[in-house]
Amino acid sequence: MWIPSSSGCSVNKILSIIQGLFRPLETDGTLLFWAKEILTALLILSFFWMLAGLVSAGLNKWGKQLARFSETDLDDRILQRIIPHISRLLTMLGFYLAIRSLPLHEKLVQVFSGALFVVLVIIFFNLLFHALDEFLQWYMNGRQADSEDLISRNMIPIAEKMVMLFLMGTALIIILKHFDYDIFSVVTALGIGSLAIGLAAKDTLAHMISGFTLMLDQPFRIGDRIQLAGGQVGDVADIGLRSTKIRTLDNQLLIIPNSDLCNTMLINQAFPDARVKGRINVCVAYGSDVEQVKEILVTTALDIEAVLRDPVPEAFFVTFGDSALNMSLFFWVEEYSQLFAVTDRINTLILRRFTESGIEIPFPTRTMIMEKGLE
């Protein structure tokens, strides 16, 4: 058999390295000693494995019964999310303590215990994340149900990401501290990197901060109809971190950066409610009966089913025009999306009834008087 030279790694050296991993506390290193140590480790592991099962069963049985006495279902939902993670946490804790109990070589103990410590930290913070995530969903859903706040659902994934980033950062610091890394140097490096990224993507960060502002301030919600300063009218389709999407009445999609929306004036037609006030301007000829015209306008509006009875429609004689009397009809509809259709029906019916009543809608006219000397 070929055996490597002294310059390489001989079989004896390999065996000596393997044997060096085990450092028995007694000089004879008998099989009985190792059997006792391994049995102790197995007992520790078995204890925590059974403890994990008992805790899971107890939480499933008695925890749910205790949760029935609370006024909300939050505790039930959190229990359902964290019970599997509690079981894993206790099981991995058993592995960790079992490895630590074995009289292995110091370096081998550090490797195994370090790896298990990382797994324990990950499981623990994963448990915290699921509990906080369930709380956030419960809070946002309750807020949405109480205030009919459609935009709250957009805050859930954002809040989840923020919580996840915070927990990941905390877990990373704990792991680095466990392995005696200089946390200050790591934080400094991350800070410098974050500053460089922030300078390179300042516009994107401005849009994201504006997105948070829109979601917290809530000047509009998903589904609201808004009118921009430029005159565009549309329904809010989506509110993202960087931009807001608005579907116009022509079924076109406007994508507007959030920072622009935060720095402009707009009209929310759906706030404080979806009712909207319509106005129809009508011109009638001089000599028309103003009271008759008002009655026709109000009666016509009331004949349309979509027009609200409270507030009642009203007609006003507004001004004397150059060639007509200017009248205005004001009415309310339940939903702003119905305004165009209702206005069309009222206009059509007004024209028909004016014709039936002999009320003239005049054309603009000019009277020119020419002096004879200028002919």
Tell me the C-alpha distance between 254 and 246, whole Å: 5
CA neighbor of 256 nearest in space, from 294, 217, 288, 211: 211
**Tokens matching residue 14:** 């390999």
Higher pLDDT, 375 or 177: 177
Residue 309 lies in a domain: yes
297 within domain boundaries: yes
The answer to whether 326 touches 290, Cβ cutoff 8 Å, is: no
Domain count, the chain: 3
Mean pLDDT of 272-288: 91
- Name the least confident of 1-5, 48-52, 335-339: 1-5
pLDDT tens profile 291-310: 999 999 999 999 999 999 99
Asked if 349 contacts 300 with a C-beta cutoff of 8 angstroms, the reply is: yes
Calpha distance 224→150 (Å, rounded): 10
Question: If pLDDT is split at 50, 70 and 90, which confidence band does 190 have?
Answer: low
Give the least confident one: 70-79, 176-185, 301-310.
70-79
Q: Which two tokens stand for residue 27?
A: 């000089």
Shared domain check, 133 and 54: yes
Provide the pLDDT confidence category of residue 333 given band limits of 50, 70 and 90.
very high
Structural domain that includes position 237: 217-268
What pLDDT is recorded for position 19?
42
The continuous run of DSSP H or E covering 257 comes out as strand 253-257
**3-state per-residue secondary structure call for 316-342:** EEEEECCCCEEEEEEEEECCHHHHHHH
Give dist(CA 170, CA 121) in Å, integer. Answer: 10
Contact present, 211 and 219 (Cβ < 8 Å): no
Q: What is the pTM of this model?
A: 0.50
Residues 187, 69 share a domain: yes
Which one is predicted more confidently, 274 or 199? 274
Residue 149: is its pLDDT beyond 80? no
**128 & 245 share domain:** no
Q: Which of 35-44, 65-74, 346-355 has the lowest mean pLDDT?
A: 65-74
Alpha-carbon distance of 208 to 362, in angstroms, equals 55
Angular region, 236: left φ>0, alpha ψ -120 to 50, beta rest: beta
Look at residues 51, 44, 132 and name the one whose alpha carbon lies nearest to residue 89.
51
Give the bridge partners for 233, in sequence order: 227
What is the predicted pLDDT for the residue at 148?
A: 47
- Cβ pair 76, 42 in contact under 8 A: no
Split at pLDDT 50, 70, 90, the class of 3 is very low
- Residue 291 tokens, joined: 């009271």
3-state helix, strand, coil in the chain (%, to 5): 60, 15, 25
Asked whether residue 287 falls in the same domain as residue 242, the answer is no
Residues 254 and 328 placed together within one structural domain of the fold:
no
Task: Kindly state whether residues 41 and 164 are assigned to the same domain.
Answer: yes
Cis peptide before 257 (omega within 30 of 0): no
Segment 47-70, tens digit of pLDDT? 888 888 888 887 777 766 666 666
Residue 198 lies in a domain: no
Answer yes or no: do 262 and 293 share one domain.
Answer: no
CATH number at 233 reads 2.30.30.60
Q: Which residues pair with 186 in a beta bridge?
A: none
| Pairwise CA distance, residues 349 & 297, whole Å | 9
On the question of pLDDT at 318 being above 90, the answer is: yes
Quick one: which of 242, 247, 248 has its CA closest to 260? 242
b/e per residue, 228-260, with b = 16+ CB within 10 A?
beeebebbbeebbbbbbbbeeeeeeeeeebbbe
Mean pLDDT across the stretch 260-281?
87
- Helices 152-178 and 106-147 pack at an angle, to 10 degrees, of 160
What's the pLDDT score for residue 294?
A: 95
DSSP-derived letter for residue 228 is: E
pLDDT the model gives residue 58: 79
What's the first-to-final CA gap in the chain, in angstroms?
135
Q: What is the pLDDT of residue 30?
A: 57
Averaged over 137-161, what is the pLDDT? 61
Judge if 223 and 300 occupy the same domain: no
Q: Could you tell me which of 267, 246, 269 has the C-alpha nearest to residue 335?
A: 269
In eight-state DSSP terms, residue 368 is -
Residue type, 233: V
- pLDDT at residue 285 tops 60: yes
Q: Does the residue 66 lie in any domain? A: yes
Decide if pLDDT at 328 tops 70: yes
Q: What percent of the chain has pLDDT over 90?
A: 22
Does 221 lie in the same domain as 189? no
Q: Are 35 and 182 within one domain?
A: yes
Residue 174 resides in a domain? yes
On whether residue 10 sits in a domain, the answer given is: no
User: Is residue 347's pLDDT more than 80?
Assistant: yes
Cβ neighbours, 10 Å, residue 331: 27
- For residues 344 and 149, which has the higher predicted lDDT (pLDDT)? 344
Q: Is residue 363 part of a domain?
A: no
Q: Is residue 85 part of a domain?
A: yes
At residue 220 the predicted structure's pLDDT band, cuts being 50, 70 and 90, is confident
Greatest mean pLDDT among 55-69, 156-170, 172-186, 214-228 lies in 214-228
What CATH number is associated with residue 336? 3.30.70.100
Residues 171 and 83 in one domain: yes
User: Is the pLDDT confidence value at 246 over 80?
Assistant: yes
314 and 230 co-located in one domain: no
Give the highest mean pLDDT range of 92-96, 98-102, 184-188, 263-267. Answer: 263-267
Nearest to 337, CA basis, from 205, 233, 194: 233
- CB 323 within 8 Å of CB 365: yes
What value does the CA radius of gyration of the chain take, rounded to a whole number of Å? 39
Q: What is the pLDDT of residues 12-40, one digit of tens each?
A: 454 344 445 444 444 445 577 777 778 88
Say whether pLDDT at 71 is over 80: no
